[in-house]
Amino acid sequence: MKIVFMGTPDFAVYSLEALYESGHEIALVVSQPDRPKGRGYVLTPSPVKSHALEHGTEVITPESLKDESVIEKLRSIDADLFIVTAYGRILSKTILDLPKIGCFNLHASILPQWRGAAPINRAIMNGDTLGGVTVQHMAEGIDTGDIAVIKEVEIQDEWCAGDYHDALAMAGKEAIKEFLLLAEQDKIPSIPQDHDKATHAAKIGNEDAYLTFEESNLQVRNRIRGLSPFPASFFFLNGKRIKVRNAKLGDGFGEAGTVISTSKGGIEIACNEGSVIITELCPEGKGVCDAESYLRGHKIEIGTKVNDR
């Protein structure tokens, strides 16, 4: 089969690698344009572009898929399949109709749960214990197409979003391999989603990352897990932004948002119910450190109210 692959971040590299291992022809890779990165804002290719070029595959990085020259390029490939993983652009019906077999997307959830931009973060923030990936027939709606393949992943309690991301990337590679075997046999399933059970994984905003500690300790910890390592939840301590990388549940109590202990291997802060113990953090303008190291250089009075600026 002749395949066009569309993807951008590290997560999508695993799917692209599955295509290379399958032996099918990867006729073209489409990725986001090079972006400034690092302290020097050096233009840097996406992980997918870099990986494709290492394999000698032609790569295009259009700013828009609405450009007629881009559409004509995709049409000229005469592909059997378009496979999309975390590309970052919506495909028009014109493009969806181009490949002979169809366009298929690997989404980082078990659809119809967590449709949208941030399924990995939202699953952990919600405290989900079971997740996975879905290969779906692409439709004009956002993640509304019929299901072809699902791979489940059990979410471990100690995982943060970064850990779950890595597990899903591997599951995605296996899902793509299974999908290709079905496509070779002309046996691609098409299972309609139950739209009544759909949940939305909205893009993460600043309000999602700001820790007020007005939730239960379990909800606060899940929020911390779900936003670690990026973009990272945060609160303010003595006027400085503190990003949180890791925390555990505590059994203390007090006014929500109050420091109630600094003697249990971290900074214990009361929540609306129970407490959380911050064990790993990133002070404003500094690198990541464990809470004990931070406390050696910063005295925090018991009773300090966080977010008082």
Q: Are residues 71 and 105 in the same domain?
A: yes
Question: Residue 183's Cα: distance from chain center in Å?
Answer: 27
Q: What are phi and psi of 35, to 5 degrees?
A: -125, 150
* Spatial separation of the C-alpha atoms in residues 184 and 25, rounded to whole Å: 13
Residue 164 in any domain: the answer is yes
CB 91 within 8 A of CB 5: no
Instruction: Please report the pLDDT score of residue 141 as a whole number.
Output: 87
Q: Domain check: are 263 and 158 in the same one?
A: no
Count of the separate structural domains present in the chain: 2
Identify whether 238 is part of a domain.
yes
Residues 66 and 117 both lie in one domain: yes
Average pLDDT of the residues in 78-105: 97
The residue range of the domain holding 179 is 2-201
186 touches 101 (CB < 8 A): no
Task: Examine the domain organization and report whether 181 and 273 are in the same domain.
Answer: no
Q: What pLDDT score does 134 carry? A: 98
Q: What is the pLDDT of residues 231-265, one digit of tens each?
A: 999 999 999 999 999 999 999 999 999 999 998 68
Nearby residues of 187 by Cβ (< 8 Å), 6 or more positions away: none
Asked if 79 and 193 sit in the same domain, the reply is: yes
pLDDT band at 103 (very low <50, low <70, confident <90, very high): very high
Query: Quick one: 267 and 180 in the same domain?
Result: no
pLDDT > 80? residue 210: yes
Q: Let me know if residue 10 belongs to a domain.
A: yes
Supply 231's token pair: 């973009």
Percent of the chain scoring above 90 in pLDDT: 95
Q: Which CATH number belongs to the domain containing residue 247 in this structure?
A: 3.10.25.10
Write the secondary structure of 109-142 as one string of H (helix), E (strand) and C (coil). CCCCCCEECCHHHHHHHCCCCEEEEEEEECCCCC
**Least confident range of 45-54, 146-155, 262-271, 298-307:** 262-271
> What band does 40 get if pLDDT is binned at 50, 70 and 90?
confident
Q: Are 43 and 34 in contact (CB under 8 A)?
A: yes
Which of 167, 201, 235 is the last residue in one of the domains?
A: 201
pLDDT for the residue numbered 263: 82
**pLDDT 10s digits, 142-170:** 999 999 999 999 999 999 999 999 999 99
> What's the confidence (pLDDT) of residue 308?
85
Q: Are residues 79 and 129 in the same domain?
A: yes
The pTM of the full predicted model, rounded to 2 decimals, is 0.96
CATH number at 150 reads 3.40.50.170
Q: What b/e readout covers 195-205, taking b as 16+ CB neighbours within 10 angstroms?
A: eeebeebeebe
**Residue 99 and residue 177 share a domain:** yes
| Average pLDDT of the segment spanning 298-306 | 95
Statement to judge: residues 36 and 128 lie in one domain: yes
Same domain for 19 and 151, yes or no, is yes
Instruction: Supply the pLDDT for residue 181.
Output: 98
Residue 116 sits in the same domain as residue 214: no
* Residue-averaged pLDDT of the chain: 96
Helices 10-22 + 161-184 axis angle, to 10? 30
Residue 17 lies in a domain: yes
Confidence of residue 37 (pLDDT cuts 50, 70, 90): confident
Same domain, 118 and 233: no
Rounded CA-CA distance 212/272 in Å is: 10
What's the pLDDT score for residue 253? 95
Q: How far apart are CA 28 and CA 59, in angstroms?
A: 6
**Cβ within 8 Å of residue 248, ≥6 positions away:** 221, 266, 276, 277, 279
Question: Among 234, 296, 228, which Cα is nearest to 269's?
Answer: 234
**Whether the predicted pLDDT of 116 surpasses 80:** yes
Instruction: Tell me if 74 is assigned to some domain.
Output: yes
Q: How far apart are CA 146 and CA 193, in angstroms?
A: 6
